Amino acid sequence: MLRRHRGDPDDERHDKPLRLFRQLARSGQLPVYQPELCGHLDEMPARDVGHPTTCEDHLPTDEPVVHLRVCLTCGHVGCCDSSVPRHATKHAHATSHPVIQSAEVGESWRWCYPDELLG
């Protein structure tokens, strides 16, 4: 089983999607998705991604996983940008797969890498 920790608030400085989601949620201003702003999010709606428990690329020597993200193109499960290896972002950049979705319980937000938009 993969070690996970809740992370501290400083971990969010590297995790733009999570930081933006939490700021908007705290203020009660979660965005209403506008398809004209991002075709990627329009093509890849939120869906049930289950509750994965491991990052597919994590090594035993890596820092603990903070949160998991799922690629909506191929289903790859990677760790978030608050997790030091940032495997979800590395996967998106290496494959040009544009959209991830949070795999955290109770969250279904998505992030478009090319357009840097939350959906």
In this prediction, residues 29-36 reach a mean pLDDT of 60
Q: What is the pLDDT of residues 84-99, one digit of tens each?
A: 899 999 999 999 999 9
Average pLDDT over every residue of 4-11 = 47
DSSP the chain: ---B----GGGGGG-HHHHHHHHHHHHT-PPPP-GGG-HHHHHS---------S-TT--TTSPPB--EEEETTT--EEE-TTSTT-HHHHHHHHHT--EEEE-STT---EEETTTTEE-
Structural domains in the chain, sorted by start: 67-119 (3.30.40.10)
